[in-house]
Amino acid sequence: MNAPVAAPHLPLRVRAAMLLRLFAIQGVWNYETMVGNGIAFALEPALRRLPGGHTGDRFRAAMARHSGYFNAHPYLASVAVGALARAELDGVPDAQIERFRVAAPGPLGSVGDRLVWAGWVPFSSAVALLAFGLGMSPAGVVLVFLGTYNVLHLGLRIWGLHAGWTRGLGVASALANPVLRQGPAHVARATALIAGVALPVAADGIIGSGRAVLGGVLAAVAAGAVMVTLLHGRIEGWRVATFALAAFVLYAMVR
Amino acid sequence: MTLEIFRIDDRLVHGQVVVGWGQPCSLGFLVLVDDEVARSEWEKELYRMGVPPEMEIVFDSVESAVARLAGYRADARAGMLLTGDIDTMARLVAAAPDIRTVTVGGVHHKPGRVPRSRYVFLTPAEEARLLELAAGGVTVVAQDVPQAAATPLEVMLRGEGPT
């Protein structure tokens, strides 16, 4: 991979259009092409700038190429979209672009899964649970969850598109960002800390001073312990924890 | 612990491998076997970024993987060997017949491939290659994540695998 050179100018409206389209990247998700159609849809505003415009042969060939199979984390797919847009407009050979399309999805999926699904979702849930335990209203708890979650979600999409466009097919160096490399471990520790504080605080909020539902809580804990034992080794712990936290908050909101 | 999992997955390093298998199986290292990747520094750099800092990834051609296989098996850590296609795994098994189980973790759609499960699409030639492996005594199963049941090859080829 050649050393990165300064990125050419890409008008703000084109970048904005690509960013907006990234939110629909899973719109036609399917087992055959995964997010391939979404990748082509997000790239399309940039590909219109290829020689010949949107009726030219290069545009058609690029759209066909990028509509094929592509499987990556939906948020970090923005990195690939930026890099592929840059490669297409720089006239990088088709074979090299195709090689990147094969190599990039796996690492982008791996980084996204560790950081978002296994890290940030449980973290956001724990923060929301803590907000509930501290007495926040149900609507406030939902807003805290959505706000916390979307800080990273939106940040990744915006950063990814910029990093991909700036570095082109040499975008691997951007994935060495400490947030992506060390972030999941720090997020996991923070989640454990916040959940450790939030669970007893929230439980106290549900049980209340009269201890009217103490029996129900103890029964739920026992049932949960049995479920975790039965599911041990058959389901990932973070899925159980996220489901339990979500059920906890929903119960508190509808009771 | 040792190198126990031999997986065919056209995505190579990705979330199912690093999170789905890596965490419950406490994988300490991955061996990525691909002749082209082994020659490409930028691709190796990309795949390195896909694994967490605490997990090691090594890159091999088929030839070098065969030479180092005994060392990988002697490793105290749990490990997984990955190939991106059936042909590469078949070449590896032919040169290292002590590989007894091969897991098909993901072979996705391309023109000419027929769906056999939600994550396995095969051409007739690829099906024949898997049957050759099985005829040679290798247990071939389809399994995307450890929580899913392993589907035997004959069940998968009947299209009765996970959908």
For position B134, what pLDDT does the model report?
96
Least CB-CB distance to B50: which of A107, A184, A185? A107
For position A239, what pLDDT does the model report?
72
Structure tokens that stand for B32 in this block? 């990525």
The CATH number linked to B52 is 3.40.35.10
Residue ranges in chain B modelled with pLDDT below 50: none
Angle, CA of A70, A76 and A80, to the nearest 5°: 55
Query: Domain extents for chain A?
Result: 12-106, 107-254
The DSSP H or E segment spanning B141 is strand B139-142
Which of A49-53, A81-85, A176-180 has the weakest average pLDDT?
Answer: A176-180
Confidence of residue A136 (pLDDT cuts 50, 70, 90): very high
Mind telling me how many Å the CA of A30 is from chain B's nearest CA? 10
Rg (CA), chain A: 22
Chain B touched by A97 (CB under 8 Å): no
Least CB-CB distance to B42: which of A1, A71, A112? A1
Compare all CA atoms of chain A with the CA of B163 and give the residue at the minimum distance. Answer: A31
For position A32, what pLDDT does the model report?
85
Residue B23 near residue A236, CB atoms below 8 Å: yes
Give CA–CA dist A91/B78, Å, rounded.
43
Q: Write the pLDDT tens digit of every residue in A60-70.
A: 999 999 999 99
- Better pLDDT: B2 or A103: A103
For position A238, what pLDDT does the model report?
67
Confidence of residue A4 (pLDDT cuts 50, 70, 90): low
**Contact (CB<8Å) A31/B118:** yes
For position B163, what pLDDT does the model report?
60
The DSSP H or E segment spanning B44 is helix B41-49
Number of domains in chain B: 1
Mean pLDDT of A208-229: 75
3-state helix, strand, coil in chain A (%, to 5): 75, 0, 25
Closest CA to A127 of A182, A184, A180, A202: A202
Residue B63 near residue B30, CB atoms below 8 Å: no
Give CA–CA dist A38/A27, Å, rounded.
7
Residue B63 near residue B37, CB atoms below 8 Å: no
High-pLDDT (> 90) share of chain A, %? 63
Confidence of residue A1 (pLDDT cuts 50, 70, 90): low
Tell me whether residue B136 is in a domain.
yes
Asked if pLDDT for residue A249 goes beyond 80, the answer is no
Mind telling me how many Å the CA of A87 is from chain B's nearest CA? 15
Which of A94-98, A207-211, B68-72, B95-99 has the weakest average pLDDT?
Answer: A207-211
Mind telling me how many Å the CA of B138 is from chain A's nearest CA? 25
For position B111, what pLDDT does the model report?
86
Residue A102 near residue A65, CB atoms below 8 Å: no
Query: Which positions in chain B touch A106 (Cβ < 8 Å)?
Result: 11-14, 17, 47, 50
Look up the domain containing B133 and give its range: 3-157
Tell me whether residue B162 is in a domain.
no
For position A235, what pLDDT does the model report?
67
